[in-house]
Chains A and B, each alone.
Chain A
């Protein structure tokens, strides 16, 4: 079964540095998402992306964050000037359509654990 793949599985970075988290969505999917899960907490929506632009973002997704689809297969999340509180699991997801109108649920990758020192 096709999967969403994320790299790296674990990223350790010094506070203030920039990080790029990478995702390869399922190949025929058109909608892409990033979520964050702080240790022991629930999964929180960050941003959705369609047709090469952001379609929705949460209040967490401030100017420190950006997303890009640099080619036909990758979808990246960049975090500039990382802070300690950015430490979390970051999940990429993709879907063929968008709920609630399409009955096409989101499929999640296994995440990147980001540790800010």
Chain B
């Protein structure tokens, strides 16, 4: 089946540092999305990408839809303690369901 592999699995960074994480697949996706999940809560949409090559920002977050449609990255600039959480990519291909990645657990040290 379709799988999305995220890297890194976890990150420990200092407050103020920039963060980069990515999501790759052997399958082509038509839509990429990035969600953040905090303990006890559901995934919260951060950025949605709908066109190959698209680069979109949301505050300190920037995400790109890879030109091959098989990957995407998410960057967080100048991290702050509330950035802590698990970041999931999700992709949509020929059907409507979201395929979620394995997640990147981010911890920010003040």
Q: Report Cα–Cα, A31/B45, bound state, in Å.
A: 17
How distant is A22 from chain B, measured CB to nearest CB, in Å? 15
Cβ of B92: which chain A residues have Cβ within 8 Å of it?
A: 99-100
Q: What DSSP secondary structure best describes chain B's contact surface?
A: loop
Option from B41, B45, B88, B100 in Cβ contact (under 8 Å) with A107? B45
**Known A42-B88, A100-B30, A100-B31; contact A31-B48, beta-carbon cutoff 8 A:** no
Q: Report Cα–Cα, A110/B42, bound state, in Å.
A: 4
B99 at the interface (CB under 8 A from A): yes
B33 lies within 8 A of A45 (CB): no
Q: Report Cα–Cα, A48/B97, bound state, in Å.
A: 7
A105 lies within 8 A of B42 (CB): no
A103 at the interface (CB under 8 A from B): yes
A68 at the interface (CB under 8 A from B): no
Interface size in chain B (residues, C-beta < 8 A): 25
Name the residue of chain A whose CB is nearest to the CB of B4. Answer: A42
B88 lies within 8 A of A43 (CB): yes
A109 lies within 8 A of B42 (CB): yes
Contact surface of A with B, Cβ cutoff 8 Å: 4, 6, 31, 33, 35, 42-45, 48, 55-56, 58, 91, 93, 98-100, 103, 105-111
Contact surface of B with A, Cβ cutoff 8 Å: 30-31, 33, 35, 40-45, 48, 50, 88, 90, 92-93, 95-103
Beyond A98-B96, A107-B45: 6 further Cβ-contacts under 8 Å? A42-B88, A42-B102, A55-B96, A99-B33, A99-B92, A100-B30
> Can you list 24 pairs linking A and B with CB atoms under 8 Å apart?
A31-B96, A33-B97, A42-B102, A42-B103, A43-B43, A45-B97, A48-B96, A48-B97, A98-B96, A99-B31, A99-B98, A100-B30, A100-B50, A100-B92, A100-B93, A103-B48, A103-B50, A105-B33, A107-B45, A108-B35, A108-B45, A110-B42, A111-B41, A111-B42
